[in-house]
Chains A and B, each alone.
Chain A
Amino acid sequence: MLFKIIEVYARPDFPEKLRQHIVLSLVALLVAIAIAMPVALLIRNTRVGALIAINIGNVGRAVPSLAILALALPFFGIGFGSALVALTALAIPPILINASTGLREVDKGVIGAARGMGLSDGQILARIQLPIAAPVIFAGIRTSAVQTVASATLATFIGGGGLGDLIVEGYSRRGPEILLAGALAVAILAIITEIGFGILERAFTPKGLKIAQKRGK
């Protein structure tokens, strides 16, 4: 069986499916960040805004990924673009929720101290709020990234391509090795994403915060 699975990876169309899967996930994630982050920054100082964002995020998270992909179909037709729109919509909630809670939960005393030292709003954002919220923001991006990689598998149902194609092919042709090859590839991709963004998260955690976390323990 293992040999048969490896044979699937040697197929000429495998690199293309893998590429589609990665492009789908990556572009969807980047667009989602580009949408969610400015929104989170805009509403960072308003109570109502944060409440609305978190509620929209929660409802967005409750919509099944399959449903979002299927709903893109009547509006954007069959294909890659349709899957891209759906995956972007799917990637936004976790980033939005974490970014807005992360920014809001920065200690008011710290911000007050910064203001007392004469920092402007922009400086407070860039030097205080963003660095302190960075771990929480990156945790949201990581959750979103892993979820997007996993959901990109479903793109195949609306003709979006990706590794899901292999799963559907293996299932409909009753070729368990093709199905397993697809599933395994998605799982490995998701694990790599998780680990990669975990490293990124640690890299963006300010040194001072790491020391504080250690002392806290």
Chain B
Amino acid sequence: MGLTDRQILFRVELPLALPIIVAGIRIATVTIIGIATIGAYINGGGLGTLIFDGIGRQFPTMIIAGAVLATALAIIADLLLLALERYLRPWARVRRT
């Protein structure tokens, strides 16, 4: 059809690879939000502070609060990326059987 290499990249290859690229970004995002809690150990702050303080004070409610918030953050970020992928791939919204 006379597309140049660059056009093939942007109009064919990237759109087709999008779900897999986004899947990689989603895994990285969820992982990094989880690991960021450990940052509190080296005084990096963040939700991990709640967890570490909870361990130190033997205060389960605090641990649960930190854990739930960090998990919610990870899930929300994951869902946002999923929504972004759907938005960028309108053709995939057609119901597949």
Interface residues of A (CB under 8 A from B): 58-59, 61-68, 70-71, 73-74, 154, 157-158, 171
Closest residue of chain A to B34, judged by CB?
A64
Task: Give the size of the chain B interface in residues (CB under 8 angstroms).
Answer: 24
B30 at the A/B interface (Cβ < 8 Å)? yes
A62 touches B71 (CB 8 A): yes
Residue of B nearest to A58 (CB): B78
Whether the Cβ atoms of A67 and B71 lie closer than 8 Å is yes
B63 touches A62 (CB 8 A): no
Contact A67 B37 (CB under 8 A): yes
Contact B70 A67 (CB under 8 A): yes
Docked complex Cα distance between A64 and B39 (Å) = 12
Whether the Cβ atoms of B67 and A71 lie closer than 8 Å is yes
Q: Is the CB of B60 within 8 A of A66?
A: no
For B39, give the chain A residue with the smallest CB separation: A66
Given the known interface contacts A66-B37, A71-B67, the answer about A59 and B51 at a Cβ–Cβ threshold of 8 Å is no
Closest to A167 in B: B41
Q: Are B71's CB and A64's CB within 8 A?
A: yes
Q: How far, in angstroms, from A66 to B36 measured CA to CA in the complex? A: 10
Query: Does B35 count as interface, using CB distance less than 8 angstroms?
Result: yes
A63 near B55 with CB under 8 A, answer no
The residue from A64, A67, A74, A158 contacting B60, defined by CB atoms under 8 A apart:
A74
CA distance A68 to B55 in the complex (A): 12
Query: Which residues of chain B have C-beta atoms less than 8 A from A154's C-beta?
Result: 38
Q: A58-B78, A73-B60 are in contact. Are A65 and B55 (CB under 8 A)?
A: no
Contacts of A61 in B (CB 8 A): 30
CB distance from B74 to the nearest CB of A (A): 4
Asked whether A66 and B48 contact (CB < 8 A) given A71-B64, A73-B60, the answer is yes
Give the CA-CA distance A88 to B22 in the complex, in Å. Answer: 28
Alpha-carbon gap, A7 to B32, bound state (A): 33
Chain B residue contacts of A157, Cβ below 8 A: 41, 52, 55
Instruction: Write the nearest CB–CB distance from B44 to chain A, whole angstroms.
Output: 12
Query: Quick check: A63 and B38 within 8 Å, CB to CB?
Result: no
Can you list 30 A-B pairs, Cβ within 8 angstroms, ordered by A? Answer: A58-B78, A61-B30, A62-B30, A62-B33, A62-B34, A62-B71, A62-B75, A63-B34, A63-B74, A64-B33, A64-B37, A64-B48, A64-B67, A64-B74, A65-B34, A66-B34, A66-B38, A66-B48, A66-B51, A67-B51, A67-B63, A67-B67, A68-B67, A70-B51, A70-B55, A70-B66, A71-B63, A73-B63, A157-B41, A157-B52
